[in-house]
Structure 1
Amino acid sequence: MSTGTAAVAAFPVTPDDAGGPAVLLGVDVVEAARLARAVERGGAAFARHVTTEAERGLTSEATAFSVKECLIKAVGGRAPGFGWHDFEAVTAAPPAWAGRLLDEAAAELAASTGAVLDGSAAYALHGASHDAALKRLRPPGDAAVAGAARWGSDGGLFVALAIVYVDRKESARCPR
């Protein structure tokens, strides 16, 4: 289903020169009305297709779709075996460094689009998308990957930003 999203290339970013964790970035900009029509047209089937039971109620279906589009872009597209449930909103907060990086990127995106990105959530990655992120990030050892997102709307646009990262300091505590 096409929602008129803006394609933004994702690329690995290293937050610091001291061997900090690599980060993948994805952005989705869509006309809010078009996104709302897609969600309305799909109804309950759309919600089941895009969101897991555990994440329903954490974000709207429109938000989940747009954020997951960002996460798809960040990991390099829909890998063979991809499913929308590869990404799941969770209640845990991202590490502080990831939150700061996301806040900085959100401020820049807000300045260019006019949309204040005041919604946020952390994301778990599973399945084919988890594996695709590991391939792109190439972390040492058996590391875990996770995601975080910010979103908002203004002037008829819905804007979402997501990062996928490996926190080398925390990967031992969060095996996947």
Structure 2
Amino acid sequence: MTPAVLVGVDIVSADRLTRAAERGGATFARHLTTVAERDRGPGTATFPVKESFIKAVGGRPPGFSWHDFEAAAQPPPPWAAGLLDEAAAELTAATGLALTEGAAYVLRGACREAARLRLDGPVAGAARWGSGAGLLVSLAVVYVDRKDTRCP
């Protein structure tokens, strides 16, 4: 049976990411983010958000790039946003950390193909993230990108 959605979660130390970003500077940012994403992406949470997408698609397939996932300007379809809200509430209950930020994501390259094969259709994604107690927590869902957004 084909899964309806793919889900990934990542929790990381905020200090660890801050140190990595300081050491890597602009090179670190270019490695993780696309030009468009630097203006609208999750900022410091980029790494755990993309790690949660990697987990959702089943790992780093051959040809993987951090640019396989890009924060999008438009929101996810209402049904996908509702699913993400429900999963985020469960993660918040489990961790005590509110996932207050979010974005839709475009999947490209090797990761899009890996997700497409698992979901049997064109794919898109959405993520929520938040921080607290020295941690960054992120949740990603990958779903079939249907033109009819009224139903999953």
TM-score (norm 2): 0.92
Q: Which has the higher contact order (CA 8 A, sep 6+)?
A: 2
Aligned to 2:142: 164
Pairwise mapping of residues 88-99 of structure 1 onto structure 2 (< 5 A)?
Answer: 88-99=70-81
Quote the Cα distance in structure 2 between the aligned partners of 1:106 and 1:60: 16
Q: Helix, strand or coil: the match of 1:147?
A: strand
Pairwise mapping of residues 1-176 of structure 1 onto structure 2 (< 5 A)?
Answer: 13=3, 22-139=4-121, 144-170=122-148
Percent identical among aligned pairs is 63
1:138 deviates by: 1.7
TM-score (norm 1): 0.80
RMSD of aligned residue pairs (Cα, Å): 1.5
Q: Is the 8 A contact 1:29 1:157 kept in 2?
A: yes
1:170 deviates by: 4.1
Aligned to 1:3: none
Q: Which amino acid aligns with 1:159?
A: V
Q: Which runs of 4+ in 1 moved over 6 A?
A: none
1:58 deviates by: 1.1
Q: Is the 8 A contact 1:23 1:166 kept in 2?
A: yes
Q: Is the 8 A contact 1:55 1:89 kept in 2?
A: yes
Quote the Cα distance in structure 2 between the aligned partners of 1:71 and 1:79: 12
Q: Which has the higher strand share?
A: 2
1:37 deviates by: 1.2
Aligned to 1:17: none
Quote the Cα distance in structure 2 between the aligned partners of 1:87 and 1:121: 11
Change (3 A) 1:48 1:156: same
Q: Is the 8 A contact 1:102 1:149 kept in 2?
A: yes
Quote the Cα distance in structure 2 between the aligned partners of 1:129 and 1:101: 21
> How many pairs align?
148
Tell me, which stretches of 5 or more residues in structure 1 are unaligned?
1-11, 14-21, 172-176
Q: Helix, strand or coil: the match of 2:38?
A: coil
1:61 deviates by: 4.0
Quote the Cα distance in structure 2 between the aligned partners of 1:127 and 1:106: 27
Change (3 A) 1:158 1:170: same
